[in-house]
Chain A
Amino acid sequence: MNSIKLRVNGKEVTGQVEGRTLLVDFLRKDLRLTGTHVGCDTTQCGACVVHVNGEPVKACAMLAAEADGAEVATIEGQANADGSLSVVQQAFQDHHGLQCGFCTPGMVMAATALLKENPKPSEAEIREYLDGNICRCTGYHNIVKSIMAASGQDVPAMAAE
């Protein structure tokens, strides 16, 4: 077993993990943070995206032991201190950026990482950035709209598909 100590959503946590324990399983099973989803487990779908030291990472393709000493952010830590939704979360709600919601935690984490790196992305840049996030429901268009809105850009100006 490996002893790990990391910060998750700003709080220090410790754990005992096997070598093979995935970060996503540590988050979901040990910490009971079940907002991070597992859609494929083959590194393809992006439902498990969290931030590790500020960068988007597929938590199904990283060992918990590798997160020792890291700063991890999950969907549970995205809301504002007063409980209101983050700008990205609110935009997803306002623009119907989700249907069943399964892909949404990964989408929100990916979108949040994108906007930190590129505060006013073009529609093409958003679509390219979401390459690793698969959605079975929305057809992506409303997700892209949500992210345009979250970045303070005009949504009606986007071409309809």
Chain B
Amino acid sequence: MQNFEFVRPTSVADAVAALKGDEAQPMSGGQTLMPTMKARLAAPEILVSLTAIDEMKGVRKDGDQIWIGGGTTHATVARETAESYPALSSLAGRIGDPSVRSRGTIGGSIANNDPSACYPAGALGSGATIVTDRREIAADDFFQGMFMSALDEGEIVTAVKFPVPQKAIYQKFIQPASRFPLTAVFVAHFGDTVRVAVTGASSDGVFRWTEAEEALQGNFSADAVSGLSVSAAMMISDLHGSGAYRAQLTKVMTQRAVAALA
């Protein structure tokens, strides 16, 4: 790993100022960035650690939403949303392994927008709001393709706000070697609307399967999507599974999710 200057500010304002430096990059849990730097795919000159910023940590009620600080670890989210939002707790509690969950954060995962990451599906499926140091962005506008997001240079995810659906579930078909999803689906039922977010499948990253949402709105049953199909054209195809396989998994995992909730 190339060396860098290490700074560890204690406020969002100081972190934003430090990120104005040349070749500066933020780091939260480092569970993605550290391996990336070791492989020399990233080589910041200034590494701005976000782990000492208390105002970016914690889980609390914010009106009828749940506010989760961007620096909150997966383990803490799993523990502290177990009652208020069980589907999100279950998503967080199945990311990677316990050591990854002790360090990795929701802000890091959302900002990174890995096409196979879990939180982007949770945030998009819930219709969450991404809060940064300078604005609020709806999840629908935030995720912009594989490893791409609406974040500007030096912009930090300080929190994510989740509306709580009437019922929701995260169905993760695991790729056992990486422990990431091969394909996973987050289904949320808000009474009048249904949202279906899919991760691990598309080479455009997380997406909403709108045909399934429309079908489920009128008839919330696994049968409602049995006639639908997902195009394999944009699907990720690799040694773990072809595009056609992932397209099929998208449907099967959606059906399993609905069957478990209906």
Contacts and interface: CB of A to CB of B under 8 A. Distances in A.
B99 A132 contact: yes
B6 A110 contact: no
Nearest to A113: B98
Interface of A: 2, 18-20, 41-43, 46, 49, 52, 55-58, 60-63, 65-66, 68, 110, 113-114, 129, 131-133
A134 B95 CA distance: 17
B2 A61 contact: no
27 contacts: A2-B6, A19-B6, A19-B47, A20-B2, A20-B4, A41-B38, A42-B38, A43-B31, A43-B34, A46-B97, A46-B99, A52-B102, A55-B102, A56-B102, A57-B103, A60-B34, A61-B99, A62-B30, A62-B103, A63-B30, A63-B49, A65-B6, A66-B30, A66-B49, A132-B96, A132-B98, A132-B179
Interface size class of B (residues with CB under 8 A): 20 to 34
B187 interface: no
A61 B102 contact: no
A58 B38 contact: no
Interface in B75-102: 75, 96-100, 102
A148 B100 CA distance: 23
Describe B's contact surface by its main secondary structure: mixed
A113 B30 CA distance: 21
Nearest to A2: B6
Contacts, number: 73
A111 B30 CA distance: 23
A47 B157 CA distance: 32
Contacts of A65: 6, 8, 49
Contacts of B99: 46, 49, 56-58, 61, 110, 132
B1 interface: yes
Given A46-B99, A110-B98, A132-B98, A61 B31 contact: yes
A49 B76 CA distance: 19
Contacts of B126: none
A110 B98 CA distance: 8
Contacts of B8: 65-66, 68
B108 to A, nearest CB: 12
A47 to B, nearest CB: 11
Contact of A129 (B4, B31, B98): B98
A61 B98 CA distance: 13
Contacts of B103: 57-58, 61-62
A108 B5 CA distance: 34
B179 A131 contact: yes
A132 B97 contact: yes
Contacts of B49: 63, 65-66
B6, B8, B96, B103: residue with the most chain A Cβ atoms closer than 10 Å: B6
Contacts of A49: 99
A46, A49, A52, A66: residue with the most chain B Cβ atoms closer than 10 Å: A66
A26 B213 CA distance: 51
B3 interface: yes
